[in-house]
Amino acid sequence: MTVIDVRSLKAKKIYEGELAFDYAPEEGLLDIPFVKFSGPVSAKLRYEILEDDRVVVTGSLTFTLEGACSRCLEQARETFTGEVYGLFETPEGDGETYGYKNVIRLEEFLRDELLFALPSRLLCKRCAVDE
């Protein structure tokens, strides 16, 4: 999984940047019956290292779900995009933020943000129009 090496970036006087990558989501995150991820999650992130060593990470996660419509059980497929925001502090987060020491490991952040982006159900085009 991707990391942000804050210590190295600060040594090079690089205080902001962008990351773009795909990763395989944990199937156990999805709680919609008969629905699965259809491919990887695409992450587009931007980070900024602040003067007080906090790091702000923003961006988006895009993913596609496919499976049975939650209403009529017809086959459905839809792509979703969720906006993400995370604040990383050193040495530890306070429950509202994430902690790091020299290097930010994005696994927990990406997992949490994907959970927030997941819909509660998947609807086929016909049922979505009736909504």
Residue 129 is predicted with a pLDDT of: 80
Q: Residue 108 has what pLDDT?
A: 93
- List C-alpha distances in Å: 98 to 37, 49, 106, 128: 26, 14, 10, 36
Domain boundaries, the chain: 3-130
The pLDDT of 18-30, averaged and rounded, is 93
Pairwise pLDDT comparison (69 vs 130), residue with the higher score: 69
pLDDT exceeds 70 at position 131: no
Model confidence at 60: pLDDT above 90? yes
Torsion of CA 90, 44, 85, 13, to 10 degrees: 40
State residue 105's pLDDT score.
94
The number of residues making up the chain comes to 131
What is the average pLDDT value for the chain, to the nearest integer? 93
